[in-house]
Structure 1
Amino acid sequence: MLTEYVEKILKARVYDVANETPLDVMPRLSKRLHNTILIKREDLQPVFSFKLRGAYNRMSQLNDEERARGVVCASAGNHAQGVALAAQKMGISALIVMPKTTPPIKVEAVRALGAEINLHGNSYDDAGAYATDIAQKDGRTYIHPYDDPEVIAGQGTIAMEIIRQHPEPLHAIFVPVGGGGLIAGVAAYIKAFWPEIKIIAVEPADAASLKAALDAGERVKLDQVGLFADGTSVRQVGEEPFRICRETVDEVITVDSDELCAAIMDIFEDTRSIAEPSGALAVAGVKKYLATNPMQDQKMVVIDSGANINFDRLRHVAERAEIGERREVLFATKIDEEPGSFQKFCKTLGDRGITEFNYRYADDQQAQVFVGVRINGKDKERKGLFEILDRAGYDWVDFTDNEMAKLHVRYMVGGHAPQVENERLIRFEFPERPGALLRFLTRIGKRWNISLFHYRNHGAAYGRVLVGIQVEDQYQHDFQTFLDSLGYSYWEETDNPAYQLFLK
């Protein structure tokens, strides 16, 4: 079986449209992991994904009659762009069925290549069933994104390039998995010649169809899949890829969304490119693999499979990357409702960087606060932080792995506080450096009672804080003098309609 695929891969026609992509060292990640991590840059293809390899190789096999009728495919985006580019190159008609949940950047990219687009259903499976019906009705050739020997062979050319670019021994190759076409092609070629190289599949934890199939000994259909890694959100691994993977895949690793966000950051720090979530799967996988299989001075390849990410998703990626890297702890605690309690709490945390601080007055006894603290990524530091809080008498609840808290509650802390009198709302900016928040609170001192507080470290040059401070009428002049003496840029927001509607 493997010999058959090696021959197909060696004969595959991909370079009419595809590039031989670089195999680059990731210096920062390699140093951190104490192993040489080499990244295969499929994000540098003309459609920013490996998918055009398999699509073009399959379409190059069409006869004249099939070319005249055109092709149809279903895809969440990357395969669609591959088919569209291949069709443009070959001068044939292409109809692309895409789920309605497909990121707009991928829809527009396909449209720009001249293909006809039909948005249908909410998942790849919905789109696939519809595209199959169209193929039968209109006579178009259905170009499967992964369950086709010629598509698999096209993707397998990546393995051929890896070995040519790095002929020295490799410990493992980490491959992102959706339907399985990429890993089937890579594994078939590698295991035919170098069976000692580990082939390690990496899947999203909420779309692990290959792992489920290998565990069950047969293909299974997942009840539902997550959509964060939309390029690999497939409910059932392909039949032919599964047949190959059963014999060639050494291990399957699953990673969650936060780990993917951290891997996107790792790729950016080493390459200055931004991977899509599915494109970062292999990097997240090698990190998890080495965390449980400590070793040094080995050489490992990770495949960056694509870079088609919506710009607005970067907000979420940046927000969650530090948590995925285990470099941020989120927790809730209570502090006494009295002047100076914020400052005392910050002193308890010592020189640890505070990344977030959310608070709104509730009653005159205790304040419930939502806090983010930066750590070095080691669990013992996270444990040590909570031990310090215990010794200082603070009750706490760890929210670092609480999805609802991370997605929603952190942004909803607060609300109206009609019992707060004489409140002025001030927005401050101060130079962002270690200890800046504590210095800010020290400058405010204990004279004024803080009734609202929101701070989030965004890695910018300046920290931004929104503060509610209770100031009785007879002290307004003193407070104004105090504000002017702080030396920080500030803006009065007491009359801001957003404050009036949601916080006052």
Structure 2
Amino acid sequence: MTETPLELKDIQDAAERIKGQVERTPMRLSRTLSQITGAEVWVKFENFQFTAAFKERGALNRLLGLTEEEKKRGVIAMSAGNHAQGVAYHGQRLGIPVTIVMPNNTPFVKVQHTRNYGARVILEGDTLVEASDHANEVCEREGLTFIHPFDDKLVMAGQGTIALEMMEQAPKPFDMLVVPVGGGGLISGIATAAKALQPDIKITAVEARQYPSLLSELRNEPHVIGGATIAEGIAVKAVGRRNFEVCQRLVDDVVLVEEDAMERAITLYATVEKTIAEGAGAAGLAALLSYPSKFAGKRVGLVLCGGNIDTRLLASVLTRSLVREKRLANIRIIGDDRPGLLARVSTVIGDCGANIIEVAHNRLALDVPAKGAEFDILIETRDAQHTQEVVEALSASGYPPRKLNVD
């Protein structure tokens, strides 16, 4: 029997089915992000879900669609992140046994969170493909039901409930919705609901530059993908079959974003909206930052689809943003190796209102005189202009920086 296409009624039914079991997340106008991007930016905060990601919606809708026999036997999913936690959490709530297969290199915190939701976690394979193959083997051997992260009609319908909420929450119709794309479950559901309710709305898909799976498929080009990305949630080698069929009909544009744009978007969410976004969750904002002319003057809905970012990675992103904004600078001073030199240099820096973060003292560099000393000093300033003021003050005091990592 041929499966019917995903329709608005499927999404409306999903909304009724999952009502009260997932968060109806807030959507807010960001005046500051609007000023920065030139668009009227409305953010849907899906990182407010209990598992901090939108995946709960589709996972729950799929679990509620199981027969009683299927619920009793249990389900299995393959995921290294948000889908795993969504299936595990709602499976535990509903009393459904859950098995999750994860690659061996999955961060421990994600493994532990999934186990904390009561799931049996199997670590197998060095890649998602190997983990998926093993999940299918276990599924067949144990008679479980496979819960696909995106290529599933009920999953797509569950994700589409986000669009229903956004359209209800918006005081005026959107000009466009900007949606991150990995396998395509989220954008399939959102595009179906949004276009049914407002046919003239534009849907823009966003992919990480290293993983242009949807764009390649739409252009019928070879998939040249791979590499490290901060947006691991959308680092998918191929969109799902059902998802592609929807995207082919309903997606108006696909844009690719670079790593630095996603880092900047994560930083802006943290500093402007005071909220946490993972790389994939920030991809929509990264698109507005990267292609301002596409969105200028438009009323744009963004889906901040997840906030599960490793704390060390978040710290690195925020620190790198300080370097990018020239608020952290590494200066090198060479002077006579005599008592008080560092104190005098520190006084000049302090009098300028800058803060010394760390100092590295090097007497063994061969390009430094035998009676000299070299200091690498990491300073924190207000901005690039402030950094330049510190450099000029040091030069005027007889300690010109030999090297500066900002231009």
What TM-score results when the alignment is normalised by the length of structure 2?
Answer: 0.83
Deviation at 1:64, TM superposition (A): 1.6
SS at match of 2:268: helix
Q: Distance in 2 between matches of 1:215 and 1:17?
A: 39
Deviation at 1:240, TM superposition (A): 0.4
Is 1:417 matched up with 2:365? yes
Is 1:130 matched up with 2:118? no
Deviation at 1:15, TM superposition (A): 2.8
- The percentage of counterpart residues that share the same residue type is 34
Is 1:154 matched up with 2:158? yes
For these two proteins, the number of residue pairs brought into alignment is: 371
Is 1:48 matched up with 2:52? yes
Is 1:438 matched up with 2:391? yes
Match of 1:181 among 171, 179, 185: 185
Is 1:106 matched up with 2:115? no
Is 1:197 matched up with 2:205? no
What's 1:310 paired with?
A: 310
Deviation at 1:11, TM superposition (A): 0.8
Closer/same/farther in 2, CA of residues 124 and 195 from structure 1, 3 Å limit: farther
Q: Distance in 2 between matches of 1:182 and 1:165?
A: 19
Closer/same/farther in 2, CA of residues 243 and 427 from structure 1, 3 Å limit: closer
Closer/same/farther in 2, CA of residues 415 and 244 from structure 1, 3 Å limit: farther
SS at match of 1:271: coil
SS at match of 1:278: coil
Deviation at 1:16, TM superposition (A): 4.4
Q: In the TM superposition, what whole-angstrom CA distance separates every residue of 1:169-191 from its partner, at most 9, and x where no partner exists?
A: 21100001110000000001111
Match of 1:90 among 94, 101, 104: 94
- Determine if contact 1:279/1:304 at 8 Å carries over to the other structure: yes
**Which runs of no fewer than 5 residues in structure 1 stay unpaired?**
329-352, 362-413, 458-504
Considering Cα pairs closer than 8 Å and 6+ residues apart, tell me whether 1 or 2 has the greater RCO: 2
Q: Distance in 1 between matches of 2:405 and 2:393?
A: 11
Q: Name whichever of 10-19 and 269-278 sits farther off.
A: 10-19
Q: Distance in 1 between matches of 2:143 and 2:106?
A: 26
Q: Distance in 2 between matches of 1:418 and 1:295?
A: 54
SS at match of 2:51: coil
What's 2:283 paired with?
A: 281
**Which runs of no fewer than 5 residues in structure 2 stay unpaired?**
335-361
Deviation at 1:201, TM superposition (A): 0.3
Larger radius of gyration: 1
- Aligned Cα RMSD in Å? 2.8
Q: Distance in 1 between matches of 2:320 and 2:207?
A: 19
SS at match of 1:293: helix
Structure 2 residue identity aligned to 1:194: Q
Closer/same/farther in 2, CA of residues 222 and 439 from structure 1, 3 Å limit: closer
What's 2:250 paired with?
A: 248
Q: Distance in 2 between matches of 1:202 and 1:114?
A: 33
Structure 2 residue identity aligned to 1:246: Q
- Determine if contact 2:322/2:328 at 8 Å carries over to the other structure: no
Q: Name whichever of 423-432 and 165-174 sits farther off.
A: 423-432
Q: Name whichever of 112-121 and 71-80 sits farther off.
A: 112-121
- Determine if contact 1:88/1:113 at 8 Å carries over to the other structure: yes
Deviation at 1:130, TM superposition (A): 1.6
Q: In the TM superposition, what whole-angstrom CA distance separates every residue of 1:213-261 from its partner, at most 9, and x where no partner exists?
A: 11117xx655535342111111110110001000000000110111000
What's 1:208 paired with?
A: 212
What's 2:294 paired with?
A: 293
- Determine if contact 1:97/1:128 at 8 Å carries over to the other structure: yes
Match of 2:75 among 71, 76, 100: 71
What's 1:356 paired with?
A: 329
Q: Distance in 1 between matches of 2:205 and 2:322?
A: 24
Q: In the TM superposition, what whole-angstrom CA distance separates every residue of 1:56-107 from its partner, at most 9, and x where no partner exists?
A: 1001111121111111101121000100011111112111111233333322
Structure 2 residue identity aligned to 1:78: N
Closer/same/farther in 2, CA of residues 199 and 416 from structure 1, 3 Å limit: farther
User: Within 5 Å, which residues of 2 pair with 1:461-472?
Assistant: none
Deviation at 1:444, TM superposition (A): 4.1
- Determine if contact 1:2/1:188 at 8 Å carries over to the other structure: no
Q: Distance in 2 between matches of 1:104 and 1:23?
A: 32
Q: In the TM superposition, what whole-angstrom CA distance separates every residue of 1:18-50 from its partner, at most 9, and x where no partner exists?
A: 111011111211122332100000000000000
Structure 2 residue identity aligned to 1:313: L
- Determine if contact 1:179/1:234 at 8 Å carries over to the other structure: yes
Structure 1 residue identity aligned to 2:232: D
User: Within 5 Å, which residues of 2 pair with 1:371-382?
Assistant: none
Structure 2 residue identity aligned to 1:423: G
Q: Name whichever of 425-434 and 155-164 sits farther off.
A: 425-434
